[in-house]
Structure 1
Amino acid sequence: MEGLMDLGRTDMDPSRRSVLGAGLFSVALTVPGWQEIMGRAEAVQSGRTSRVGRPEVDMVTAMTERISELDDQFGGRHARPMAASFIVNTVSPFLRADAPDDVRKDMLSAASDLCYLTGYMAVDEGLQGLAQQYYLKALELAGAAEDHLTYCTTLRGMSVQAVDLGHGPQALRLADAAAAASPQAGPRMRAFLSGQQAHAAARTGDRRSAFTHLKDAETAMEKAESQAKIFGSYDPTALSYATSQVRYELGDLSGAIRAMAEADRLREPVYRRIRVLRRAMLAERQLRLGHLEEASATWHSALDEYPHVQSGRVDDRIRTMASLIRPHRRNRAARELHDRARTVAPAVLRV
């Protein structure tokens, strides 16, 4: 609990942002296993000063959902410090409070979800070391809550972070650990985990394993879609994105573009940040294939919503766009895109 408080206080203090930014992603990070976390939780003696009940758990859950909605629509730059403040001022005291056993476990689980989300928002801002610290806290809290779902979700999130940073073997270890820790997962969760295993395996160059995991994800998704869907859960949009990443890693650029375009077509309107990010990525791949006008049109669609998003990852994609399109400015479409980008994103492009 003290570590969680310190982490949140540092993150919510603007004067410490430079310190947070200095933290690097660690390939050698020690990830605690399920049994180890359970042992720690049983040994904790908390100083209980008040009592919490079901309404407090519901409040933490609802607040996490609202922050997640803000992140989806506007990016994590402004939402994460708000989450950190909520962790310090509200959630941490709740975790120290007395409660019936079932309520206490649910509170730990709700806190784990919030830490996972806060770590994800740190990734979005490029604060990789900070994200790992939040993810570790999420693992510890999930273990104390006996919450396999959030534990596995967090391990998968750590795998996504690792593969996006180019650490294929570490990403695969984390993805495999997530799948192994969830032996009773339903079909949607299996698709969620298998899709990431496929991407991580493709990053290591293991074509056979990548397509085996991808097929498993597709089969599980077919079963999941025949059941009631929970909004915001893993869906065909996310699976199409995983397919695109697998094909891209294995050199199938055309297949990667088709799958990415399909993911964009299926994506719900509320996911603005991820839509801008993925469209920029799609445009980069279209340009690599030599389709300059098509790439320019896709980048324009990303710029349409860019002003509404506060995201380090999106800013990086806009900078990449400017550098890629600059050599093609003799082309009218490229020139118009370049000029518009300088108007829409002057701070990012330092115009």
Structure 2
Amino acid sequence: MTNPRGPNHQLRALLTEAGWTQEALARAVNALGAEIGAALRYDRTAVAHWLAGTQPRHPVPQLAAEALSRRIGRAVTPEAAGFPGRPRDARPADPVAGFTALCRSDADAERRVGLHQRPYRVADAVVPTPPGPASPGRPPGGRPEAGPALHDAVTFFAASIDAHGGRHARSALSAYLADDVAPLLATRPAGRARAELLVAASRLAFLLARMYEDGLLHGVAQRYYTYAHRLAGEAGDRTAWSVVVRAMSAQAQRLGHLPSALQLAEAAGRAARAAPQAHQAYAQAQFAVTLALTGDRRGALSALGRAERAADRAGAASDPFDSYPAAALHFQAASVLEALGDLSGALAALRRAAGERPAADVRGLALTQARFAGLLLRGGHLDEACASWEAFLTARERLRSGDAERALRDMRQALLPFRNRKPVADLLTRSAHGR
């Protein structure tokens, strides 16, 4: 912490407005630290120092401002909370310029640290403006032909996430965007070539966002999702835009921001109405999950039905952005049914999801087995749950994935009450090194 500057009356006023104690703010900052992979242990005494004028080190001012923003319901900057210094990152009006700057920051070892410590901002989880009409001469959702190298990169990195987890090859994709994709965007091609290049860049940004999200670095993931939808919007591709907004909904949902998740999912569904069937299924499945979590049973089942019908009509596709695997749809269906209280239906859906995961989708299989085991345990089927967790541990050994690590911690916590049973003791011993 830096030297005191005098009492922080702005922070005290915001605490009063939020109805928070010093301890409550400390807990909220610690929780936000977990969202960026930082294990923080602040308590009320630390907040008392901040109120006295002590300037905490980066990224605590950003975390405190975001915590207060979420509590109060309006955007609060670090400066408004009495923490002068590092400015809030600006968003250039030109998406190409902004994306290029982001990629260069991410590729720079010193600047990357600050970027990775950026918290997820609920105020930024709003529905962006959808693109206008598609660029002439290019069908919406069509595969970009901006060169075989870009298409191969999309295929490679999408497969890498499935096979090895989001923490594998992340720096490679970051460097590829900075060293290869950004210079291509700087050439400013015109017409169809420009639209195709923008969509290819959008897809690669989307994949890097997924990698960061799987690495539990939600703030930087949000930044890449933002530029992924802005690049798709600049290309006039509503289908590519809807794919990104749907993923933004899923991120907001997993972080517990259901109003944002619902609005984003609804917007993605609207934008995908004229899209290929696989994209419609992808959007409607997420809309169904958010509706179920908000308690809208009829709406959730209706959206899930639309997703299933669209998936049935979708043809086979080799491009990862033109297909929606059946296993992924079953996984989403399980989330819908679990949220609606149908445990047996959720278990059946997860069983189908596990059975249809291809061998190359190691991450998907691991997370499916972990979810399946957790629901089995809730249903009182301890031995079956242990067998499913065994399969999870086998798959997890091949992954570098924050989601898999979190599933491991959840498994250990769920099994602790049964630690005297031999199958459970064996699982806890096998998994001890992964804590």
**TM-score, shorter chain, exceeding 0.5:** yes
Q: Sort the Cα spacing of 1:98 and 1:136 in 2 relative to 1 into closer, same or farther, 3 A.
A: closer
Q: Sort the Cα spacing of 1:276 and 1:149 in 2 relative to 1 into closer, same or farther, 3 A.
A: same
Helix, strand or coil for the counterpart of 1:99? coil
Superposition deviation, residue 314 in structure 1: 0.6
Does residue 310 (structure 1) correspond to residue 400 (structure 2)? The answer is: yes
What 5-or-longer segments of structure 1 have no aligned partner? 42-53
Match of 2:102 in 1: 7
- The answer to whether the Cα contact below 8 Å between 2:334 and 2:350 also exists between their aligned partners in 1 is yes
Paired residue type of 2:246: R
Does residue 261 (structure 1) correspond to residue 351 (structure 2)? The answer is: yes
- Structure 1, 207-216 or 91-100: larger mean CA deviation: 91-100
Superposition deviation, residue 309 in structure 1: 0.3
Does residue 88 (structure 1) correspond to residue 183 (structure 2)? The answer is: no
- Structure 1, 140-149 or 1-10: larger mean CA deviation: 1-10
| TM-score normalised according to structure 2 size | 0.71
Superposition deviation, residue 197 in structure 1: 0.8
Q: Which one scores higher on RCO, CA 8 angstroms, separation ≥ 6?
A: 1
Root-mean-square deviation (CA, aligned residues, Å) is 2.1
Helix, strand or coil for the counterpart of 2:118? coil
Match of 2:38 in 1: none
Give the whole-Å Cα distance in 2 for the aligned partners of 1:263 and 1:221: 14
Superposition deviation, residue 255 in structure 1: 1.5
Residue-by-residue CA offset, 1:288-323 (whole Å, 9 max, x unaligned) = 111111111111101112121001111111111112
After the TM superposition, which residues 184-333 of structure 1 pair with which residues of structure 2 at under 5 Å, given as runs? 184-224=274-314, 227-230=315-318, 232=320, 233-333=323-423
Does residue 164 (structure 1) correspond to residue 259 (structure 2)? The answer is: no
Helix, strand or coil for the counterpart of 1:190? helix
Helix, strand or coil for the counterpart of 2:123? coil
Paired residue type of 1:86: Y
Match of 1:62 in 2: 152
- The answer to whether the Cα contact below 8 Å between 2:246 and 2:265 also exists between their aligned partners in 1 is yes
Give the whole-Å Cα distance in 2 for the aligned partners of 1:166 and 1:282: 21
- The answer to whether the Cα contact below 8 Å between 1:68 and 1:117 also exists between their aligned partners in 2 is yes
Paired residue type of 1:332: K
Paired residue type of 1:32: P
Give the whole-Å Cα distance in 1 for the aligned partners of 2:157 and 2:316: 25
Superposition deviation, residue 12 in structure 1: 3.3
- The answer to whether the Cα contact below 8 Å between 2:206 and 2:228 also exists between their aligned partners in 1 is yes
Superposition deviation, residue 220 in structure 1: 1.7
- Structure 1, 183-192 or 76-85: larger mean CA deviation: 183-192
After the TM superposition, which residues 14-53 of structure 1 pair with which residues of structure 2 at under 5 Å, given as runs? 14-16=109-111, 18-29=113-124, 30-35=126-131
Give the total of aligned pairs: 328
Structure showing greater radius of gyration is 2
- The answer to whether the Cα contact below 8 Å between 1:57 and 1:103 also exists between their aligned partners in 2 is no
- The answer to whether the Cα contact below 8 Å between 2:155 and 2:319 also exists between their aligned partners in 1 is no
Give the whole-Å Cα distance in 2 for the aligned partners of 1:14 and 1:252: 48
Does residue 123 (structure 1) correspond to residue 213 (structure 2)? The answer is: yes
Give the whole-Å Cα distance in 1 for the aligned partners of 2:338 and 2:299: 15
- The answer to whether the Cα contact below 8 Å between 1:175 and 1:196 also exists between their aligned partners in 2 is yes
Give the whole-Å Cα distance in 2 for the aligned partners of 1:248 and 1:337: 25
Residue-by-residue CA offset, 1:62-93 (whole Å, 9 max, x unaligned) = 11211111111001113221111111111111
Paired residue type of 1:8: C
Does residue 76 (structure 1) correspond to residue 170 (structure 2)? The answer is: no
Give the whole-Å Cα distance in 2 for the aligned partners of 1:341 and 1:13: 35
Give the whole-Å Cα distance in 2 for the aligned partners of 1:204 and 1:147: 30
Match of 2:194 in 1: 104
What 5-or-longer segments of structure 2 have no aligned partner? 1-95, 136-143
| TM-score normalised according to structure 1 size | 0.88
